[in-house]
Amino acid sequence: MKKVSAIIISLFLISIGHTYAQNMKKEMSNTQIVEKFLNGFNNPAEIPASLALLADDYHFKNPMVELKNKAEFIALAQEMGKVLTGVRLISTAENGNWVATYYEFKSAIPGLESNFGSEWFRIEDGKIQESFLIYDASEWRKVYAQMEGNK
């Protein structure tokens, strides 16, 4: 009888340990993935973790460019990293695989220090598959033209 009790208690404890381990490994929500991605742009040391959240075939579109993969986005991010100084997330809303954000992105460019945008992200299997950034690009067109001229 003592052996049976010991086996039952052992199985019970193993079950609790397994359940605890599963809960600790819980994946990030889609909103958490987007927040981690955007917050990485506030600290250069966190950029690799942000970029790791992108699918290899990540599709990005804003009012001036459309990129078809992660490598193209990284090249743009490196250029933009020279002038962007941070992102302040204001609001998010999640619906299925989509997360909509409203944030302020800041730059070191006179006249463009504070900019507001809305970006929509589609997430699948823990990776950002695509995003669409909407913002007033009137003055930013000059910045992009200058970046193109420096290549």
Domain ranges within the chain, ordered by starting residue:
28-149
Collapsing DSSP to helix, strand or coil, 141 comes out as: helix
pLDDT tens digits, 33-66: 999 999 999 988 999 999 999 999 999 999 999 9
DSSP state of 86: E
Checking 110-115 for CB contacts under 8 A at 24+ apart, the result is: 111/139, 112/139, 112/140, 112/143, 115/140
pTM above 0.75, yes or no: yes
Residues 6+ apart with CB under 8 A from 39: 46, 50, 87, 89
Considering the chain, what is the average pLDDT of its residues?
85
Q: Assign domain 28-149 to a CATH class.
A: alpha beta
Q: How confident is the model at residue 151 (pLDDT cuts 50, 70, 90)?
A: low
Enumerate the β-bridge partners of residue 119. Answer: 101, 133
- The DSSP symbol for 119 reads E
